[in-house]
Structure 1
Amino acid sequence: MAASGNSSGGGLLPELTQRTPILGLKLYLIILFFIVILVSTLLIFFICIMKRRMRMRVKHSSGTIPLVSKEESEMKSGEKERRRRRKSEEEKEKIGWGRRYSLKEVEEATRGFEEGNVIGKGGYGIVYRGILHDASVVAVKNLLNNNKGQAEKEFKGEVEAIGKVRHKHLVGLVGYCAEGAQRMLVYEYIDNGTLEQWLHGDVGPVSPLTWDIRMKVAVGIAKGLAYLHEGLEPKVVHRDVKSSNILLDKKWNAKVSDFGLAKLLGSEKSYVTTRVMGTFGYVSPEYASTGMLNEGSDVYSFGILLMELITGRSPIDYSRPPAEMNLVNWFKGMVASRRGDELVDPLIEIKPSPRSLKRALLVCLRCIDLDVIKRPKMGQIVHMLEADDFPYRSKHRTIEIDHVPSHAAVSIKVPYPARHVEPSSWR
Structure 2
Amino acid sequence: MNVGFSSSTGKNSSSHCILGWSFSTDGVPATPLDLSSLPSPPVLPDQTSYLKTKLATLKTGAISAIATLLLVILIIAIVLYIRRKSKLAEALEAWELECPHRFRYKDLYKATNGFKDKGIIGHGGFGCVYKGVMPSSRESVAIKKISSGSNQGTKEFVAEISSLGRLRHRNIVNLLGWSKRGRDLLLVYDYMPNRSLDAWLFDTGETRRVLDWERWIGVLRGIAAGLVYLHEEWEQVVVHRDVKVSNVLLDGEMNARLGDFGLAKLYEHGKGMCTTRVVGTLGYIAPELPRTGKATTSTDVYAFGGMLLVVACGRRPIEPSEAVGNLVLLDWVRECWMRGRIIEAADPALRGGDCEKAEVEMVLRLGLMCSQSAPKARPTMRQVVHYLDGDEVLPDVVLVLDDKDSVDLVCRSNLSSSLFGFASVGSIATGR
* Aligned residues with identical type, % of pairs: 35
Quote the offset at 1:212 in angstroms: 1.5
Aligned to 2:370: 367
1:357 to 1:261, Cα distance in 2 relative to 1, 3 A: same
Is residue 241 from structure 1 mapped to residue 243 from structure 2 by the alignment? yes
Quote the offset at 1:355 in angstroms: 2.4
Aligned to 2:383: 380
Work out the CA distance in 1 between the residues paired with 2:359 and 2:183: 50
Quote the offset at 1:358 in angstroms: 2.9
Conserved 8 A contact 2:312-2:350: no
Alignment of 1:311-330 (within 5 A): 311-322=313-324, 325-330=327-332
Q: Which amino acid aligns with 1:412?
A: F
Q: Which amino acid aligns with 1:235?
A: V
Conserved 8 A contact 2:200-2:208: no
Quote the offset at 1:380 in angstroms: 1.1
Aligned to 1:107: 109
1:396 to 1:350, Cα distance in 2 relative to 1, 3 A: closer
Aligned to 1:186: 188
Conserved 8 A contact 1:234-1:264: yes
1:174 to 1:389, Cα distance in 2 relative to 1, 3 A: closer
TM-score (norm: length of structure 2): 0.66
Q: Which amino acid aligns with 2:108?
A: V
Work out the CA distance in 1 between the residues paired with 2:251 and 2:192: 6
Quote the offset at 1:396 in angstroms: 5.8
1:197 to 1:354, Cα distance in 2 relative to 1, 3 A: closer
Work out the CA distance in 1 between the residues paired with 2:153 and 2:347: 39
Quote the offset at 1:289 in angstroms: 2.2
Work out the CA distance in 1 between the residues paired with 2:124 and 2:291: 24
Work out the CA distance in 1 between the residues paired with 2:376 and 2:274: 15
Work out the CA distance in 2 between the residues paired with 1:330 and 1:324: 11
Is residue 146 from structure 1 mapped to residue 149 from structure 2 by the alignment? yes
Aligned to 2:26: none
Taking CA–CA contacts closer than 8 Å with sequence separation of 6 or more, which of the two structures ends up with the larger relative contact order? 1
- Match for 1:173 among 168, 172, 175? 175
Quote the offset at 1:388 in angstroms: 6.2
1:228 to 1:311, Cα distance in 2 relative to 1, 3 A: same
Aligned to 1:120: 122
Specify every segment of 5 or more residues in structure 2 that has no aligned partner in the other structure, as ranges.
Answer: 1-95, 402-416, 423-432
Is residue 274 from structure 1 mapped to residue 276 from structure 2 by the alignment? yes
Conserved 8 A contact 2:286-2:302: yes
Work out the CA distance in 1 between the residues paired with 2:361 and 2:321: 28
- Match for 2:265 among 254, 263, 266? 263
Work out the CA distance in 1 between the residues paired with 2:119 and 2:161: 23
1:363 to 1:308, Cα distance in 2 relative to 1, 3 A: same
Specify every segment of 5 or more residues in structure 1 that has no aligned partner in the other structure, as ranges.
Answer: 1-92, 402-408, 415-427
SS at match of 1:101: coil
Work out the CA distance in 1 between the residues paired with 2:253 and 2:352: 19
TM-score (norm: length of structure 1): 0.66
1:322 to 1:400, Cα distance in 2 relative to 1, 3 A: farther
Alignment of 1:43-192 (within 5 A): 97-98=100-101, 100-133=102-135, 134-149=137-152, 153-160=156-163, 162-192=164-194
SS at match of 1:325: strand
Q: Which amino acid aligns with 2:149?
A: N
Deviations 1:223-254 (A, max 9, x none): 11110000123200111111111111233211
Conserved 8 A contact 1:238-1:263: yes
1:250 to 1:399, Cα distance in 2 relative to 1, 3 A: farther
Aligned to 1:411: 419
- Match for 1:199 among 175, 198, 201? 201
SS at match of 2:160: helix
Aligned to 1:353: 356
Quote the offset at 1:290 in angstroms: 2.0
Work out the CA distance in 1 between the residues paired with 2:235 and 2:146: 26
Quote the offset at 1:165 in angstroms: 0.5
Quote the offset at 1:350 in angstroms: 3.8
Q: Which amino acid aligns with 1:220?
A: G
SS at match of 2:348: coil
Aligned to 2:294: 292
Aligned to 1:340: 342
Q: Which amino acid aligns with 2:398?
A: T
Quote the offset at 1:349 in angstroms: 7.3
Quote the offset at 1:348 in angstroms: 3.9
Deviations 1:119-171 (A, max 9, x none): 111112211000012211000111113333355554443333x1110001111
Quote the offset at 1:320 in angstroms: 4.8
Quote the offset at 1:383 in angstroms: 1.0
Conserved 8 A contact 2:202-2:208: no
Conserved 8 A contact 1:192-1:248: yes
Conserved 8 A contact 2:201-2:208: no
Conserved 8 A contact 2:199-2:246: yes
SS at match of 1:264: strand
SS at match of 1:149: coil
Q: Which amino acid aligns with 1:398?
A: V
